Amino acid sequence: MCGLAGFLGATPFQAKGEHKALLKRMTDAITYRGPDSGGYWCDAEPGIALGHRRLSIIDLSPAGEQPMHSASGRYVIAFNGEIYNHLLMRKELESGRNAPAWRGRSDTETLLAGFDAWGVQGTVERAVGMFAFAVWDRQTRTLTLGRDRIGEKPLYYGWQGRGSKAVFLFGSELKALRAHPVFENVIDRGALCLQMRHSYIPAPYSIYHGIAKLPPGCLLTVSMEQPEPALTSYWSGARHMVAGAAAPFRGTADQAVDDLEKLLKEAVGAQMIADVPLGAFLSGGVDSSTIVALMQAQSSRPVKTFSIGFHEAEYNEAEYAKAVARHLGTDHTELYVSAEQALAVIPRLPSMYDEPFSDSSQLPTFLVSQLARQHVTVSLSGDAGDELFCGYSRYQFASSLWNTINAVPMPLRRLVAKGLTGVPVESWNRIARMLARCLPRSMRFANAGDKLHKGAGVIASPTLDALYLGLASHWADPASLVLRGAEPSTLLTGNAPAFAGLDGIQRMMALDLLTYLPDDILVKVDRAAMSVSLETRVPFLDHRVVEFAWRLPQSIKLRDGVSKWALRQVLYKYVPKALIERPKMGFAVPIGAWLRGPLREWSEALLAESRLRREGFFDPVQLRKKWQEHLSGQRNWQYHLWDVLMFQSWIEQQSLDHRGDHAPSIERIRPDDMHPMPEVATRTS
């Protein structure tokens, strides 16, 4: 696992030494992604510069250092990630007499040999792994950026500067790009709208105007002769999901479980290869327990496992994780975290996540990563099990709710919704308190008015997609909150593929795999882990597992109301069912209570009306109203407020880090300046 950065184009630094100094400044900004060594290569004549920070995992010798040249001398690469099948790729090169005289054992060298033999696209189509890379073709004078199929590793890019001073910047994180003197620091208010809706900014957008995220499964080419970046999809999740549903697995349920176990065991085994200490996160849930069970089944010594516990019972999964670890015989480490320890992480979040990000489970994710890094350099994770095997309860809930309300004519639904919102929240709460005296405990609800007002929006949804967007949204109308903001289109708001042949639940799973998983879950884990120089690996995202999961009929994923049925059957071969079966808890922290308690003073400073008016990003009237309602307990706006607070703390950090010319601009962006959703050419497998 590493970090990369670079640039292409005219700069005021023409001498080779000055190019290197600038490159070092960019990569130094992400040293934690690769603390073991740094490397720099530049060719001043075409204006290309590649920088690299190395976290040594495979081949710890100098033979693995980057930027690295191919044996032919044609390609120069800066690579971040792991290619799990690179030894098999070496065998294919050798059998075809395309292998060079190997200098070392690194997967980076294997990729370069593949580029020489098969071209860039032919090589990444063979690769099984997680990666982001920048490779310069010295023959065609073309830069190619590449990203893995699902989006485990990040890569940002974009032109900055004007005219002869324009420079194409790229890197693993935005802070590397910000270190270049041409970086413009213009906030994209459309992207800010997206963060308010989702708690993250989905690809291809970034918080900065003119800077994009490379979408998963894509290659991008750019040159000084053809400065408009050209995107090509070498693997399409949407296409494979539709193809899987159209040609489903035809065997029995038991055969499906056996085939899934074999695939997962191979994926886990491949991802256990490392020249440094390795372990796994363990929550005690289905996904992480499956990964750990398959690791321990292939290990001659106890696997190192790590869990975070909380003293508040409603947020604590540590006891479940300990029970699973004890049964499997792992070398288990747990840490019980106090509220004070979790709160102490908050000042680090703006720098850690590098652009506004407000999934509050970022806090425990960092804490478990920090714990693991004290013992290992690589940790496997159980992420993606929910998206692949129908694990989220919202899938069944949304589908059932839609089937119920869709039977009611839309005019009547709108009338009901209007009636619900016509009664103030506090009035509903008073009614609920009076009725509670004569209702059983199971039918009593706190903040009933809040829930009814939120439910009104769901009732009025015209389609299942619209209903699901409502469930996946925090701010339902972020453009009304963000001043001069216009929300751009995304896969969730009008740009979704047709998904022919997928039913309602499958559509929700597909959208999550294309949006929520790469832009929230994988971002959360990557930034938290890399901030402490920990490599994370996700066996469920071996693309062969992903493709097989989408061939499984829904009846094998969701059976008799039991989610992740096939995956559970694999797990129950290793862990007793009684240790696993319990309500899903998630990886949450009590943000709502903290905002009314220990975080109140911090929040008040960031949400002060005078500050909001001075900065000019948010409608202060709407925001202050929600803040007061939350403080009073009248409404629970914890997620809405956390979205805003994470942006406010981020922009404050940027202003402190980049005073003067590099302070973020808050006035230069207009709604009609929002960068459009890029077109992706599809031409492959």
2 in active site:
yes
Chain centroid offset of residue 491 CA: 15
Polymer length in residues for the chain:
685
Residue 552 near residue 264, CB atoms below 8 Å? no
**Class of the 248-587 domain?**
alpha beta
Q: How much is the pLDDT for 347?
A: 94
- Residue 405 tokens read as 């309300």
Q: How much is the pLDDT for 638?
A: 94
H-run or E-run covering 681? strand 681-682
105 SS3 class: coil
Question: Which DSSP string corresponds to 276-333?
Answer: S-EEEE--SSHHHHHHHHHHHHT-SSPPEEEEEEESSGGG--HHHHHHHHHHHT-EEE
Kindly state which CATH superfamily the domain 2-235 is placed in: Aminohydrolase, N-terminal nucleophile (Ntn) domain (3.60.20.10)
Neighbours of 254 (CB within 10 A): 10
| Whole-angstrom distance, CA of residue 84 vs CA of residue 380 | 13
| Whole-angstrom distance, CA of residue 52 vs CA of residue 26 | 9
Q: What is the dihedral of CA 388, 292, 281, 562, to 10 degrees?
A: 40
Q: How much is the pLDDT for 664?
A: 54
CA-based angle 64:65:67, to the nearest 5?
120
Neighbours of 668 (CB within 10 A): 12
- Considering Cα of 520, then 523, then 526, then 529, what sign does the dihedral take? negative
CA-based angle 100:105:108, to the nearest 5?
75
Domain boundaries of the chain, sorted by first residue? 2-235, 248-587, 591-662
3-state secondary structure 434-456: HHHCCCCHHHCCCCHHHHHHHHH
124 SS3 class: helix
Residues of the chain under the 50 pLDDT cut: 13, 442-443, 660-662, 665-685
Same fold, 2-235 and 248-587: no
Residue 230 near residue 152, CB atoms below 8 Å? no
Residue 81 near residue 526, CB atoms below 8 Å? no
